[in-house]
Amino acid sequence: MRKAINHLPISNSSNKDEKPEPIPCNICGEDRPQLFIDIPLIGERWVSAACQCHVEEQEQWKQDQQQLEKNRKIKKILRLSSSMEELQSYTWDNIKVRPGMESAYKEVKEAVANFKERGKIGVLLFGQSGNGKSHLTAAGANDLLKQGYSVIFLTEKDLLSRFRETDHYDNEERFFEIMNACLEADLLVWDDLLSSQKLDKKEKDWIFQVINGRERANKPIWFTSNLTASEFKSSKYAKVLDDKERTWWRIIGNNNCVYNRASNYRQLLAISRIEGIPIEKLEDV
């Protein structure tokens, strides 16, 4: 404590009426504020406080250091993402909102605009394959990346294969590195939920750990799934994730679920090329 006190610009005056000469700030040149306070082990003294510009400079330095650390974590986390170069090419600028996509597009835009306020509330986009679900979530994720958030984009099969690899080689350190990244990232995009119809006990446990861990941390997951409307309503695959359906109902409870009614763009593109008909005309049919 004495060492810290010795570095304070403390006046020898113990008289409140004997205010010492002010000390100029070495940054802005203005006089530093003077306070008459009771100092432990010394008593009442006049002290020159830090100038506001110095406080702001220190606060800015602290924020800069925090951002540098966050950027380091983001780069480390990003290495876990599936096909990152391809995903980064998906933006709002090159997405076409096709018939049936309107609600899904609006929901992801809303999730980006109110990301902090939504907390753990994520998105579950479901509908047939190839109708733009992954493009929507990737565009939203890239928007958040530009804002400085950390994001992981993983297909379900890729996520499980990474965990499985650590289990195969008994690499506990690598397992926790992947798990912690999934839990710490500001956003986890889980592409192709329920693409794995046969899960063993360990895989079900890994999935539950990620989903439950992010719920407890108040962090969202954005899911895409090829479930049909009838499959979703009947919760047909709820027991695939675990026998007691705990995982499924956590997913449903923590996400705004939107049915993407758009048709399979890849299929339409193939028909368009074969028949020489513009896609727009095929979608009008």
- The ranges of the chain with pLDDT < 50 are 1-7, 285
- Residue 6: its pLDDT value, please? 43
Phi, psi of 126 (to 5 degrees): -130, 155
Do 80 and 177 meet the contact criterion of CB atoms below 8 Å apart? no
What pLDDT does 281 receive?
67
Note the pLDDT of residue 88.
79
- Of the candidates 207, 203, 204, the residue with the CA atom closest to the CA atom of residue 215: 207
Task: Give the CA-trace dihedral at 285, 281, 270, 124, to 10 degrees.
Answer: -70
| Residue-level pLDDT at 1 | 39
The residue among 78, 137, 167 whose CA lies nearest residue 256 is: 137
- DSSP, res 191: E
User: Which one, of 110, 251, 260, lies nearest residue 193 by Cα?
Assistant: 251
47: helix, coil or strand? strand
Q: Write out pLDDT tens, residues 155-200.
A: 999 889 889 988 777 778 888 888 988 998 899 999 999 988 789 9
For the record, the structure tokens of 87 come out as 């995903």
| pLDDT at site 42 | 75
Residue 8: predicted pLDDT: 58
Q: Which residues pair with 155 in a beta bridge?
A: 191
For position 285, what pLDDT does the model report?
46
